[in-house]
Amino acid sequence: MDWESSLIKNLQWSADIINISGKQKVAAQIAEKVTDGDTLGIGSGSTVYLALIAIAERIKTEKLNVKGIPTSIEISMFCAKLGIPLTTLFENKPDWLFDGADEVDTNKSLIKGRGGAAFKEKLLISSCPKNYIIVDESKLVTRLGTNFPIPIEVFPQALLYVEQQLKKLGANSIVVRPAKGKDGPIISENDNLILDCRFDEVGSSLEKDIKAITGVIESGLFIGYPLEILVAGNN
Ligand code: 5RP
């Protein structure tokens, strides 16, 4: 089995994925939006992977000149494997972006960052005039924080101070995200810690209030960004 088929098979088996066919349709819609000369912001998540496979196919068959700006090393490696040329925010401005999300509320506010890349994801979404967020129905919530905590990337030496300040903002649970398969905390691509936080209430100023704490690099809370939400249906 080739590795793209193997990836799709693994996605099908993942407990997270409730509707692979719906995701493939949305991935195809994203790939259709690509035009020659585009610089794409590339987020993360299962539908992003599917969209990249479809985009790589178009690049190959239509000989499109397309570049991507990735939000993580993992996505960079996947693009390299697919032959999608990459660039950086130093050299290019993204024309549009596609990304996943962990929760989306009725105001199109998001929680992101389950993969630990919220800082780069927010940097790219902020730099982009047009952002497509791809989710399945399981991500739609009436209240942010229903299923996922808010990830907050923190400069390690600031941990105790930041924890103290987050409690003042109404954090009722703060967990330093553990490393996978070994002792100790996970270290982000920017050499920081990630705190997974739950709040009594997620108000409209919470994103700014969290960001104002010295030592916070960024949070996975996205309130008031220009986003178009694409929902993958059940068929
Ligand atoms: C990672 C994210 C992802 O976009 C999010 O986890 C979506 O993943 P999936 O579509 O596989 O559920 O915010 O930082």
Residue list, ligand 1 pocket, CB within 6 Å: 16, 43-47, 99-102, 112-115, 117-118, 121
| C-alpha angle 217-218-221 in degrees, rounded to nearest 5 | 165
Q: Report the pLDDT value the prediction gives residue 21, as an integer from 0 to 100.
A: 72
For the chain, where do the domains classified as CATH 3.30.70.260 start and end?
A: 150-220
Please determine, for residue 17, whether its predicted confidence score (pLDDT) is greater than 90.
no
Res. 12 pLDDT band, cuts 50 70 90: very low
Class of domain 20-141+224-232: alpha beta
> Ligand 1 mean position to 99 CA, how many Å?
8
Kindly give the number of the ligand 1 atom that is closest to the alpha carbon of 118.
14
Nearest CA residue ID for atom 10, ligand 1: 45
Q: Report the pLDDT value the prediction gives residue 53, as an integer from 0 to 100.
A: 97
Q: What is the average per-residue pLDDT within 119-148?
A: 96
Answer whether CATH 3.30.70.260 is correct for domain 150-220.
Answer: yes
Tell me, rounded to whole angstroms, the distance of Cα 186 from its chain centroid: 17
121 flagged as catalytic: yes
Please determine, for residue 75, whether its predicted confidence score (pLDDT) is greater than 70.
yes
> Ligand 1 mean position to 135 CA, how many Å?
8
Asked if the ipTM is above 0.90, the reply is: yes
Q: What is the average per-residue pLDDT within 216-232?
A: 96
pTM of the model: 0.89
Please determine, for residue 166, whether its predicted confidence score (pLDDT) is greater than 90.
yes
Residue among 50, 46, 45, 90 at smallest CA distance from 67: 90
> Ligand 1 mean position to 58 CA, how many Å?
24
For the chain, where do the domains classified as CATH 3.40.50.1360 start and end?
A: 20-141+224-232
Kindly give the number of the ligand 1 atom that is closest to the alpha carbon of 99.
4
